[in-house]
Amino acid sequence: QVQLIESGGGLVQAGGSLRLSCAASGRAFNNYAVGWFRQAPGKEREFVSAINWSGSWTSDADAVRGRFMSSRDNAKNTVYLQMNSLKPEDTAVYYCAADFDVGRVPITPLKYRIWGQGTQVTVSS
């Protein structure tokens, strides 16, 4: 069973950047798709970005397209979310999630069975 651990969150000023990491342990990670989601207080968990098993395909939500990007290094069992030009509305707990890549990478939380614990991102104005 794969376990996921996120890191890299923190406090940053608007316009700044952060890179989140999602490290997998337990077994090989190179046949799993990974999604990034976020949840702000009082709001539902929402899709941010997703990447397929090889890194050849990614998808980003409209709210972050052009600012955020997923990438992965399967040799390190790690997926990254590079976040640039951060805005106060990006403030949330960010989660990575994984499941077997069966050809269509999901962008809905219910399609992922393995979740990390989350990391807080706070963007000040």
Per-chain mean pLDDT for the chain? 95
CA 80, CA 23: separation in Å to the nearest integer?
A: 9
- Nearest Cα to 23, choosing from 60, 72, 69? 72
Query: What is the identity of the amino acid at 2?
Result: V
CA 108, CA 98: separation in Å to the nearest integer?
A: 11
The mean pLDDT of 36-59, rounded to a whole number, is 97
pLDDT in tens, 15-30: 999 999 999 998 778 8
Look at residue 7 and tell me whether its pLDDT is greater than 90: yes
Look at residue 104 and tell me whether its pLDDT is greater than 90: no
The mean pLDDT of 41-58, rounded to a whole number, is 96
pLDDT in tens, 51-68: 999 999 999 999 999 999
Q: Are 26 and 3 within 8 A, CB to CB?
A: yes
Look at residue 1 and tell me whether its pLDDT is greater than 90: no
